[in-house]
Amino acid sequence: MLKEHKRFDLRKCTAIKVVRFDLYPSNNPKYQVVAFDVRCTINDRRKYVETRIDIEDAKHMDETEVTTLAWKRVKDEVVKWFDEHATSNPMVGSSFEIPEDEPEKREEVKQKEETDTVQKDDEEAKQEEETDTVQKDDEEAKQQDDTK
């Protein structure tokens, strides 16, 4: 029933369900409405397609024949949709599981943070020492000036 696709076999790459099969309008039917839910199994995208079969055309058909006729009317639309969506990046619509942190990577990050902290502490201590030395030198110079 599905024609071959240029890269994928539509029979293997789609799931199609009849989701509507009723007379319309219900009070004075003129059409048999048939709708399909088409799902691309490559990336889980979906499309709803619907068509109407004239009640006079459907009068001498069984349900399978009506459904087949409905499919023939919408299949070009489905193939066009499939061409556009089956070739898109399959990551779109896919599930993603957050990976567990690898223990060795966590340890590397922890060690880097500790090293950075020690280096920062060393730099701060050096700056304080230089500041203290400058202040001490200033005080000694002031004392020498005071004794003169």
pLDDT digit string, tens, across residues 39-98: 988 778 899 999 999 999 999 999 999 999 999 999 999 988 888 877 656 566 677 788
Average pLDDT of the chain to the nearest whole number:
80
* DSSP letter (8 states) at residue 102: P
Q: Indicate if the pLDDT at residue 110 is higher than 90.
A: no
Nearest Cα residue to 24 out of 87, 71, 70: 70
Query: Phi and psi (nearest 5°) for 3?
Result: -80, 155
pTM above 0.75, yes or no: no
The strand pairing partners of 103, in sequence order, are none
Query: Phi and psi (nearest 5°) for 120?
Result: -65, -45
